[in-house]
């Protein structure tokens, strides 16, 4: 018996005028895709201003999340769906829309601005405090940082009221550092975390009409439970070593402050990675590659995902997937489409 999601997928493909593939190769129900693989990652460009130099001048949270004026979210969701159908039939390649967010301002950001980057890197970053500000270990959000995270939440609330709205993530990932976890929880509060209705809003569901709406409903799993436990991955932490702001707290301490998150299997109680030597970009890029590979193998049915992390992680992500180089502001939200091609 064909599952309901496979049936909807077949219906959407048929309605688009493309010959429907057998249910077992539709990305939403594909047992042959369950084997762990290695991937080459690239950016699928053309939808967002962030894909080019245009993105460098955008605010932290751009109008319509930086979608280009000559396209729509309905166009994007339909094409994303079709890319995954075609990729599954052709070479096993797959595509995900990633909402990459940087944490809001932390106390370490304030200290670096106050003392300047050279003095911060050479002296203050190796301490926990200057007697007035405390940034280590594991720097927390400032009041401004909380406001910046709330701005992301406000943008999502406004987005979901639009007739042409972005699809919500169906998987949330986070760095294990407190400033990222707090930013994620605030950004998606009452939307995907701490959602009292526990379902996609009726308002959003009613907007998803016709074939475009059907595809969007499939991508966002409309009608399914909408409290999502964020997945905490060690590999998504900020560039580590030397700076005390990037030394994480124990798993027990984090679990106490963030009881609704899910720690990946094998997550260590104590921080075994932080040393007095700063991690190099090449090592950071290698672990981002590893983290993306894990995500693609673990979340094969999730075509829209979110990652809340750090400036260093996002810049490493952009290098790994060949995205235009952007230095994200605190509280930034940058969407991009990533293609994963299985390595032979």
| 94: β partners | 340
Q: How many CB atoms lie within 10 A of CB 125?
A: 21
Residue 198 pLDDT class (50, 70, 90 cuts): low
DSSP 8-state assignment for residue 273: S
- Dig out the tokens for 4 from the structure: 């309901």
Tokens of 107: 């106390």
**Confidence class for position 230, pLDDT limits 50, 70, 90:** very high
Give pTM, 2 decimals. 0.85
Q: Which of 83, 53, 79 is nearest to 66 (CA)?
A: 53
Q: How confident is the model at residue 54 (pLDDT cuts 50, 70, 90)?
A: confident
Residue 19 lies in a domain: no
Place of tokens 């429907």: 20
Indicate whether 34 pLDDT > 80. Answer: no
31 assigned to some structural domain: no
CATH number at residue 57: 3.40.50.1240
Residue 245 lies in a domain: yes
Is 2 within the bounds of a domain? no
Question: With 90 as the cut, is the pLDDT of residue 11 above it?
Answer: no
Number of separate domains in the chain: 1
Q: Is residue 28 part of a domain?
A: no
In whole angstroms, give the CA distance from residue 305 to residue 284.
21
- Cα separation, 307 vs 230, in Å, equals 9
Nearest by Cα to 85 from 4, 31, 19, 38: 19
Quick check: is 288 in a domain? yes
Per-residue pLDDT reduced to its tens digit, 90-123? 999 999 999 999 999 999 999 999 999 999 999 9
pLDDT number for residue 226: 66
CA angle (194, 305, 61) in 5-degree steps:
80
Question: Are 98 and 335 contacting, i.e. CB atoms less than 8 angstroms apart?
Answer: yes
Residue in 71, 50, 128 with CA at minimum distance from that of residue 327: 50
- Domain containing 109 equals 37-342
Assess contact for 163 and 207: CB atoms under 8 A.
yes
Question: Can you tell me the distance from the alpha carbon of 25 to that of 31, in angstroms, rounded to the nearest whole number?
Answer: 8
Say if strands 304-309 and 94-102 run parallel, antiparallel, or are unpaired: parallel
Q: Which of 310, 284, 306 is nearest to 295 (CA)?
A: 306
Backbone conformation region of residue 17, classed left if phi is above 0, alpha if psi is from -120 to 50, else beta: left
Confidence category of residue 326, pLDDT binned at 50, 70, 90: very high
Establish if 53 belongs to a structural domain: yes
pLDDT for 247 beyond 80? yes
Of the candidates 243, 249, 203, 240, the one whose C-alpha atom is nearest the C-alpha of residue 222 is 203
9 in any annotated domain: no
Answer whether 96's CB lies under 8 Å from 303's CB. yes
Could you tell me what percent of the chain has a pLDDT over 70?
A: 81
């Amino acid at each position: 018996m064909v599952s309901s999601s496979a049936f909807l997928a077949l219906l959407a493909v048929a309605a688009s005028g493309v010959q429907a593939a057998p249910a077992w190769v539709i990305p939403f129900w594909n047992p042959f895709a369950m084997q762990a693989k290695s991937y080459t990652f690239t950016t699928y460009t053309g939808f967002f201003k962030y894909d080019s130099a245009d993105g460098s001048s955008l605010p932290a949270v751009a109008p319509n999340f930086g979608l280009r004026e000559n396209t729509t979210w309905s166009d994007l969701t339909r094409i994303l769906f079709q890319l995954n159908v075609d990729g599954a039939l052709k070479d096993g390649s797959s595509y995900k829309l990633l909402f990459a967010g940087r944490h809001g301002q932390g106390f370490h950001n304030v200290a670096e601005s106050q003392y300047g980057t050279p003095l911060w890197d050479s002296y203050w970053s190796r301490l926990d405090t200057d007697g007035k500000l405390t940034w280590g270990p594991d720097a927390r959000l400032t009041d401004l940082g909380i406001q910046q995270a709330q701005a992301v939440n406000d943008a999502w609330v406004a987005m979901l009221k639009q007739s042409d709205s972005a699809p919500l993530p169906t998987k949330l990932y986070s760095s294990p550092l407190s400033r990222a976890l707090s930013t994620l929880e605030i950004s998606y509060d009452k939307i995907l975390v701490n959602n009292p209705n526990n379902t996609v809003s009726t308002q959003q569901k009613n907007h998803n009409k016709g074939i475009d709406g059907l595809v969007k409903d499939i991508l966002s799993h409309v009608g399914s439970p909408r409290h999502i436990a964020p997945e905490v991955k060690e590999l998504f932490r900020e560039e580590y070593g030397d700076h005390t702001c990037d030394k994480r707290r124990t798993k027990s301490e984090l679990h106490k402050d963030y009881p609704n998150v899910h720690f990946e299997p094998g997550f260590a109680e104590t921080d075994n990675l932080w040393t007095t030597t700063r991690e190099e970009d090449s090592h950071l890029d290698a672990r981002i590659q590893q983290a993306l590979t894990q995500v693609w193998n673990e979340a094969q049915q999730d075509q829209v995902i979110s990652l809340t992390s750090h400036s260093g992680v996002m810049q490493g992500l952009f290098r790994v997937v060949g995205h235009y180089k952007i230095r994200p502001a605190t509280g930034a939200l940058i969407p991009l489409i990533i293609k994963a091609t299985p390595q032979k």
